Each structure stands twice: as C-alpha cells, then as structure tokens.
Amino acid sequence: MDEHSLGEGVSKRVLLGRTLRFLREKAGKSLGQLAEETSYDKSYLYRLETGERLSKRAVMEDLDRYHGSGDLLVGLWSDARKEVIKGKYQGYMELESTARVMWKFQLRVPGLLQTEEYARAVLSGLSRAQTAVGNGDVIEEQVAARMGRQELLHRVPTPHIRVILDEGAVRRPVPDTKVWADQLSHLVDSAELPSVALQVLPYTAGVHDLMNSDLTLMWQRVGDPVAYVEGNGFGELTDDPDKVLSFRLSYDLVRDAALTPQESTAFLKRLLKECRT
C-alpha cells in the first residue's frame, strides 16, 4: 500500500482513518505503543483509524507533530468534518468558510460563538428530543464539526462578522450553571475580538421581521451577496437579488433597534454576574 492508493473511492473520514493507520504502520508502531507515546486511549485511536469517530482538530495537530507529517492530518480532518454536515447545510458551510463579511441575526447562540461544553449540551438536548436515546458518537462528531467551523474567526484574512442576538438567546441557559456562565463569558470575550461586532436585540424592541428565523448575510471577496434563512426544520440559501435586498433591509431595521456593541457587552457582563452569584 502506498500513499497514493489511500484515497481511491472512499469517504473523507475513511481516508483520514486509513492515513492515520498508514502513518502509524510506517513508523513501525502498534496501537498500544502509539497510545502510550501520545497519551490517547488505544480504543479511541482504533476508532479513529476505522473511521468510527471524528476527532477534534487538536488531536490531529498532536498526531501531525508526532508523525512529522506537516499539516496532512489537519487537512484531511478539515475535509472529513464537512461530511458530518447534512446536505442542505453543505452549500452554506462552504460559503461561510470563505466569506469576507458576515452579518447574522440569531434567536440562539450561534455555533461560531459557542463553547465546546455548551455545544455539547445543546446538541445532546436536540438528540434526546429527536431520537429518545442520544447517540454519543454522533453528538461528538457534531461538536467537533461545530468547533472546527470556528477556525474562520482566526484565519487570515479575518472575516468581518456582526452578530445580533435576540435577548432570548442570552436569557435561556442550559441546566449546568458553570457551562452557561462559561458561555456568557465566551460571548463577552468574542465581542472584544477586533473582527467581531456583537449586539443584543432587547425584548423592548418589540415585533420585527426576523422573529421566526435566523438570518445570515454573506459577502465573498468577489461576487454578489447571499442570504441563508433557517427556521424550525428548514433552511434556504439564496442569491436572488430581490430576496437578498429584502433580507438586508430587514437586518438593517433590527440592527437599528438593537443595543450598541458597547451596551450589549455591558448587558452580557450583567447577565454573567447574575449567573455567577
């Protein structure tokens, strides 16, 4: 088996697993030896190699360093995590990953600004609601994919992102108080990033055009803007100029009614203080 035969007709996740095994065997290591030398559980490494699990980026960075493989595994992992995303979201995720400007209105904390533990709590709740018994492996894959999306916050060039959160998004906690406090703290930290503008739309703003759905407007370096609207059980990606313009006008009205970024940060800090006390 050679490096060129690893990827013939297989999924990205299986390709990643085969590459992990290829690198381990090339180094003359057993799974037990690799586990001992990397401090990762043997069964966990086995499941990565068989494609049963999708790791976090940090794991791939560790294994790239161990094998001296540059960013090979990180690159394969980036491709593999896209397979976790369901079909209707794939087009949106591809555009999100290259967007230069992104405006969001969210009824809940967006994935781009979630902590890992908060994401796990939310996804676990969704799994229970949908299947009665949550699938831990599926949830972990979804968490890994969600955390992987946050790479764009630190890429070069860094996209300019504006997020308007409905007040309900920061009033609705998860059961674990610490997880919720950490999430509020993360929002405060995110608001201080030079590329992020974070605003809260207070209940006192009243009714508005975006009450029933999340909205994302995206601009690439070239080309026309696109809009993605997502609600309960549906998602629509559109580049129709009239629709995008209509969404843009609705977004402008919501932004005008929202607290300023400075007021929003102060508001989040008050909620965080209340949560901690």
Helix (H) or strand (E) holding 238, with range, is strand 234-238
**Alpha-carbon distance values, 217 to 100, 120, 122, 191, 250 (Å):** 11, 26, 24, 19, 11
Predicted pLDDT at 133? 45
Rounded to two decimals, the pTM is 0.73
Q: Is 255 exposed, middle or buried (0-12, 13-18, 19+ CB in 10 A)?
A: middle
Better-scored residue on pLDDT, 232 or 217:
217
Q: How do residues 89-121 score in pLDDT, each as one tens digit?
A: 778 888 898 999 999 999 999 999 999 999 999
Tokens of 38: 């990397």
Q: How do residues 157-209 score in pLDDT, each as one tens digit?
A: 899 999 999 999 999 999 999 999 999 999 999 999 999 999 999 999 999 98
Closest C-alpha among 205, 241, 206, 202 to residue 225: 241
Predicted pLDDT at 86? 54
Position of tokens 């990606």? 237
Predicted pLDDT at 105? 98
- Most confidently modeled range among 16-20, 43-47, 121-125, 262-266: 262-266
Average pLDDT, the chain: 88
Q: Which domains does the chain have, with CATH numbers?
A: 9-82 (1.10.260.40), 87-113+145-276 (3.30.870.10)
Predicted pLDDT at 100? 95
State yes or no: pLDDT of 257 exceeds 60: yes
Predicted pLDDT at 52? 79
State yes or no: pLDDT of 247 exceeds 80: yes
| Sheet architecture: strand order including 196-201 | 196-201, 160-166, 101-106, 214-219, 226-231, 234-238
